[in-house]
Amino acid sequence: MKVFRAFEYRRGTTILHRVDPRSKLVYLILFTVLTVYFTRLLALLLVFLSFLPMVYIGKISARWKQSLRGSLFFIVFIFIFNFIPTAYLSGNIYGAAISAIAMSLRFLNLISVFSIFFLTTSPEDLTQSMVQLKIPYDYALTFNMAMRFVPTLSREAQYIMDAQRSRGLEMEKGNFISRIRNYIPVLIPLIISSFRRAELVADAMESRAFGASKKRTSLYILKMGRRDLLFITVALASSLALFAVNLFL
Amino acid sequence: MIRIECVTYSYSEGISALDGVDLEIGDSELLAIVGENGAGKTTLVKHLNGLLKPQHGRVLVEGIDTRETTVATLARKVGLVFQNPDHMLFAETVEKELAFALTNFGVPPEEIAKKVEWALIEFSLSNYRDRSPFTLSGGEKKRVSLASVLCYGPKIIVLDEPTTGQDNLQKTRLASTLTRLNRQGETVIVVTHDIEFVADFIPRVVVMSKGRVIADGPTEEILVRKDIMDASSILPPQLAELSWEIGLNTPSINTAMIVEEIRHMLGRTNK
Ligand SMILES: Nc1ncnc2c1ncn2[C@@H]1O[C@H](COP(=O)(O)OP(=O)(O)OP(=O)(O)O)[C@@H](O)[C@H]1O
Ligand SMILES: [Mg+2]
């Protein structure tokens, strides 16, 4: 569950924190596309390396590492499920290993780029920027609230696990199938309480007159500045460079 | 026998939830832990079955250090029921919910049936046997969560706020169940804000405040101490307040004793 905590925004003053969310959105999209488009291990590795300066500039290395550690389980999972079938079908163990590592690295890259984005972007700014991008306020708010409830959900999952372990549930017991089944007593209360919470929040919002006025105004308006121009230029240039390198690899 | 020795615990750097707690709980005791919101009561009881391990100090349950064993092993001895039943309930029917812990502990089916039957009756849930736990009222869910732990017969029972949302009848029933189990030799620990419940049914009380134990002793002595009640934001029992108001020499939470004391005072002034 630590993997969620690694996406929680913390206030900060670095340039990465101050760049407009829309500029960071450009960065997010560019690097997500690159990661999905690249297939070669070396190219994916270069993308991964390009995150290091970002993490350093944004002073988020501790949380970023946490997010990587938290996704270790999935990475092992992805590796195994790519390696075994490919090795079995092609008989080429070395090739299968390389492509399985590439797949795992791709996942790592996605986690990294999203974690860089969310760790440095405040939810309020994100909502505001979505509104300024002409996304209807209802959708922007829904998105914001979904993000807002991730930590709540992870804490709730912890409480539920505590309660079920107190009744003798052993999560790590048994073979692969029964381990998955062990999650049922945790997932059901979690899902039900999430639905209930959603209902409660909706009721609470309506009783405070959400949606009463058709036209909303904002206290703060986000403005793009020179900083953003610089940021977008660097993002574009580096992704073009990566793209070119990939062509000639 | 539980020994808690100088236990400290903090969830995040710098803010300590437990700040050096010492406590000894003998076999077949019946005691309450009270204290303000955030005093550390829930944190403390999570140490009793090893869900949390002390960062300093140690917790011994029947001689076993909780750091050297698993929650699953300790849970057989220590039955912990949490504040919020919604964190527990997941089964299709109340009956299956009650059987969950028993199945986890590998109890044979005939015995499971017997124990579930006992719990259904003990917690007045027989009518709800086939109902989904999610369709029950708040108080009923709470009872299912209590029953689902008490049914496997742990030697040490720990209840976090068992009386919330219970009407008076259910409270009295709960008290008599707990008293009876206690008489049969079980240790019962109740965390609660319901001070009248403590005054009426529980002989020993531990008062916590800001991560420490600030008082520990017989209920009738602790609950009449105004300084302790104030320090831990407890609404004192009405009888204690009455005793203070009248200015009794020995404030009490026992009606008979107060009456006796008043008689005594009146007798004196009449002379
Ligand atoms: N999961 C958690 N993460 C971080 N801090 C926590 C967590 N649980 C409790 N705390 C903090 O630890 C302290 C003690 O909390 P605890 O839940 O033990 O109090 P309590 O005595 O049970 O209170 P209440 O009467 O409200 O149930 C509080 O300051 C609380 O904010
Ligand atoms: Mg509590």
Residue whose CA lies nearest to ligand 1 atom number 22: B42
- Is residue B52 lining ligand 1, measured as CB closer than 6 Å? no
Quick one: pLDDT at residue A2?
Answer: 57
Whether residues A166 and B51 touch (CB distance < 8 A) is answered with: yes
Q: Convert the pLDDT of each residue in B49-59 to its tens digit.
A: 999 999 999 99
The residue with tokens 């574009």 is: A236
Instruction: Work out the average pLDDT over A161-190.
Output: 89
Same domain, B226 and B242: no
CA of B82 to the centre of ligand 2 (A): 8
pLDDT score of A34 more than 90: yes
- Is residue B211 lining ligand 1, measured as CB closer than 6 Å? no
| Length of chain B counted residue by residue | 271
The parent domain of residue B226 ranges over: 1-77+192-234
Tally of structural domains, chain A: 2
Instruction: Work out the average pLDDT over B63-91.
Output: 93
pLDDT score of A163 more than 80: yes
Instruction: Work out the average pLDDT over A111-140.
Output: 90
**Chain A contact for B96 (CB, 8 A cutoff):** no
Same domain, B1 and B71: yes
CA of A51 to the centre of ligand 2 (A): 42
Q: Between B12 and A135, name the one with better pLDDT.
A: A135
Same domain, B270 and B227: no
Instruction: Work out the average pLDDT over B143-162.
Output: 94
CA of A145 to the centre of ligand 2 (A): 27
Query: Residue B111's Cα: distance from chain center in Å?
Result: 27
Query: Which of B37, B45, B208 should be mutated for ligand 1, with most atoms under 8 A from CB?
Result: B37
The parent domain of residue A192 ranges over: 130-207
CA of B43 to the centre of ligand 1 (A): 6
Q: What is the reported pTM?
A: 0.79
Domain of B9: which CATH number?
Answer: 3.40.50.300
Same domain, B196 and B259: no
Whether residues A166 and B105 touch (CB distance < 8 A) is answered with: no
Same domain, A180 and A64: no
Whether residue B128 lies inside any domain: the answer is no
Whether residues A192 and B71 touch (CB distance < 8 A) is answered with: no
Q: Convert the pLDDT of each residue in B200-241 to its tens digit.
A: 999 999 999 999 999 999 999 999 999 999 999 998 999 999
Quick one: pLDDT at residue A4?
Answer: 63
Same domain, A16 and A94: yes
Whether residue A144 lies inside any domain: the answer is yes
**Chain A contact for B88 (CB, 8 A cutoff):** yes
Whether residue A74 lies inside any domain: the answer is yes
Which atom of ligand 1 has the smallest separation from the CA of B44?
18
**Chain A contact for B80 (CB, 8 A cutoff):** yes
Same domain, A14 and A105: yes
Quick one: pLDDT at residue A106?
Answer: 94
Residue whose CA lies nearest to ligand 1 atom number 27: B37
Same domain, A69 and A178: no
Which residues in chain A are closer than 8 Å to B71, comparing Cβ atoms? 165-166
Same domain, B19 and B59: yes
CA of A227 to the centre of ligand 2 (A): 48
Q: What is the mean pLDDT of chain B?
A: 93
- Is residue B138 lining ligand 1, measured as CB closer than 6 Å? no
Whether residue B82 lies inside any domain: the answer is no
**Chain A contact for B71 (CB, 8 A cutoff):** yes
- Between A160, A162, A193, which is nearest B46 by CB? A162
Quick one: pLDDT at residue A86?
Answer: 86
Using alpha carbons, list the distances in angstroms from residue B80 to A182, B59, B180: 20, 16, 18
Q: Convert the pLDDT of each residue in A59-114 to its tens digit.
A: 998 888 888 888 888 899 999 998 988 888 888 888 899 999 999 999 999 999 99
Mutate: best of A167, A171, A181, partner B, most B CBs <10 A? A167
Percentage of chain B exceeding pLDDT 70:
99
- B147 in Cβ contact with B125 (< 8 Å): yes
Residue of B nearest to A170 (CA): B72
Same domain, A86 and A197: no
Sheet hosting strand B212-218, strand order edge to edge: B78-81, B156-160, B187-191, B30-35, B204-209, B212-218
Same domain, B197 and B241: no
Whether residue A212 lies inside any domain: the answer is no
Residue B249 CA to residue A222 CA, distance in Å, equals 69
Which residues in chain A are closer than 8 Å to B79, comparing Cβ atoms? 166
DSSP A76-111: HHHHHHHHHHHHHHH--HHHHHHHHHHHHHHHHHHH
Quick one: pLDDT at residue B161?
Answer: 92
- Is residue B42 lining ligand 1, measured as CB closer than 6 Å? yes
Same domain, A95 and A152: no
Instruction: Work out the average pLDDT over A34-39.
Output: 93
Secondary structure string (H, E, C) spanning chain B: CEEEEEEEECCECCECCEEEEEEEECCCCEEEEEECCCCCHHHHHHCCCCCCCCCEEEEEECCEEHHHCCHHHHHHHEEEECCCHHHCCCCCCHHHHHHHHHHHCCCCHHHHHHHHHHHHHHCCCHHHCCCCHHHCCHHHHHHHHHHHHHCCCCCEEEEECCCCCCCHHHHHHHHHHHHHHHHCCCEEEEECCCHHHHHHHCCEEEEEECCEEEEEEEHHHHCCCHHHHHHCCCCCCHHHHHHHHHCCCCCCCCHHHHHHHHHHHHHHHHC
Whether residue A219 lies inside any domain: the answer is no
Same domain, A101 and A68: yes
Instruction: Work out the average pLDDT over A183-190.
Output: 93
CB pairs A-B closer than 8 Å: 63
Q: Convert the pLDDT of each residue in A200-248 to its tens digit.
A: 999 999 999 888 887 888 888 888 899 999 999 999 999 999 999 998 8
Whether residues A189 and B148 touch (CB distance < 8 A) is answered with: no
